[in-house]
Amino acid sequence: MSIKRVGILTAGGLAPCLSSAIGALIEAYTEQAPEIEIVCYRSGYKGLLLGDSFVVDDHSRKNAAILHQHGGSPIGNSRVKLTNVADCVKRGLVSEGQDPLQVAAERLQSDEVDVLHTIGGDDTNTTAADLAAYLAKHEYQLTVVGLPKTIDNDVIPIKQSLGAWTAAEEGAKFFENVVGEHNANPRMLIVHEVMGRNCGWLTAATAAKYRERLQTLNFLPEMGLSQERRDVHGVFVPEMSFDLEEEAKRLRAIMDEIDCVNIFISEGAGVDTIVKEMESRGESVPKDAFGHYKLDAVNPGKWFGKQFADMLGAEKTLVQKSGYFSRAAAANADDIALIGRCAKKAVECAMRGIGGVVGEDEDQNNELRAIEFERIAGGKPFDINVDWFGDLLSQMGQPKGEVLETSH
């Protein structure tokens, strides 16, 4: 396949891999095929619909490594679902009567893009597959090669999503400061709400990373500086059931003994229960363009904090969310290495005309390959039976509940 021009876009929420992934793709093309022109679409599918793009010049190609030092996405993101016509019209991205999918596809054709690299989650990449299918029907060949971005680490069947390791580490750093609030008030309850709508991997990994970092510090209990007061005392994820009253009894005993309790909660934990409670009061729960409940409106951290505060006899409750702190960070060394491997494979696949989402395929012995779009899906649940999570719960004295199916 003869390639003259490739396009890159990032979409969805931020993750600590976007800037680095853009840089890694530019580096890989500059190394393997410097003659190929690279075009970046600003603000994801919004830029594609509006024709807002720029060509990566020689100076940028030579200095692409700088992108590894930064978080966010230098070319911009947006949450645009091409099949949600009403939303695209409302936002002025297409005119009344236009099909966003057709507009985007025709833009790629007019821009003479041969390969489109999409860096995003399952919605981003499967939408790109729809674009390729549309163009194929109109006898225009486009190869779409995506990279999996999600801090939730919940893309089926990908072993490790880009940016998730960094997000866990950054969430741990975030809590290292927040936990100091435990001595600002007697009987203090601190709730750390971690991103993860349907998947608890990030919450569990953040707690594990935080406790790992805690082990490297020195303490002086005689002065009130104890490891126990800075520890994690409970972790609650969407995939695991638990008895609220029994957990409250366990945590109350900890509160009575050390005068504080610190818990980690996934932002998606208990959403169905909370939504039912809100609707029973006649409240309308808003949804986003993808049909998901807006978690800022549901606010699980606040809800759990209130439930536990009453049962633990807490004098003060502090709810802190690490999501925006974590997701906009620069990729760490482990993620940069993974991103580099995936970017090189993505360029290899593009040169051979092989589409798909590049990642370690759990169904094929974790081989790094372009996974077929029809096999890509979101909402991969966290396996609460993995050894490291069992060890985490055991060390905290928290019983492991039954596996729950997540559906929201």
Residues acting as catalytic residues: 152
- DSSP structure class, residue 120: E
83 is an annotated ligand-binding site residue: no
75 is an annotated ligand-binding site residue: no
The H or E element that residue 123 is part of is: helix 122-137
C-alpha span between 104 and 144 (Å, rounded): 13
288 is an annotated ligand-binding site residue: no
197 is an annotated ligand-binding site residue: yes
β-sheet bridge partners, residue 235: 264
Q: Encoding tokens for residue 44? A: 């994801």
Cβ-based neighbour number of residue 259 at 10 Å: 16
Sign (positive or negative) of CA dihedral 88, 93, 97, 100: negative
Q: Encoding tokens for residue 272? A: 């169905």
Phi and psi at 133, nearest 5°, equal -65, -40
158 is an annotated ligand-binding site residue: no
107 is an annotated ligand-binding site residue: no
C-alpha span between 35 and 183 (Å, rounded): 60
C-alpha span between 87 and 289 (Å, rounded): 7
Q: Which residues contact 170 (CB under 8 A, 6 or more apart)?
A: 16, 322, 325, 326, 329
31 is an annotated ligand-binding site residue: no
C-alpha separations of 63 from 6, 12, 60, 78, 124 in Å: 19, 26, 5, 25, 27
206 is an annotated ligand-binding site residue: no
C-alpha span between 391 and 187 (Å, rounded): 27
175 is an annotated ligand-binding site residue: no
Strand pairing report for 367-371 and 356-361: antiparallel
The H or E element that residue 344 is part of is: helix 333-351
195 is an annotated ligand-binding site residue: yes
326 is an annotated ligand-binding site residue: yes
196 is an annotated ligand-binding site residue: yes
Q: What are all long-range contacts of 282-288, with beta carbons under 8 Å and residues at least 24 apart?
A: 288/79
Q: Which residues in 334-357 are b (16+ Cβ under 10 Å) and which e?
A: ebbebbbebbbbbbebbbeebbbb
210 is an annotated ligand-binding site residue: no
C-alpha span between 41 and 49 (Å, rounded): 9
Q: Which residues carry a binding-site annotation?
A: 13, 122, 150-152, 195-197, 267, 324-327
Q: Which residues carry a binding-site annotation for Mg(2+)?
A: 122
Q: Which residues carry a binding-site annotation for substrate?
A: 150-152, 195-197, 267, 324-327
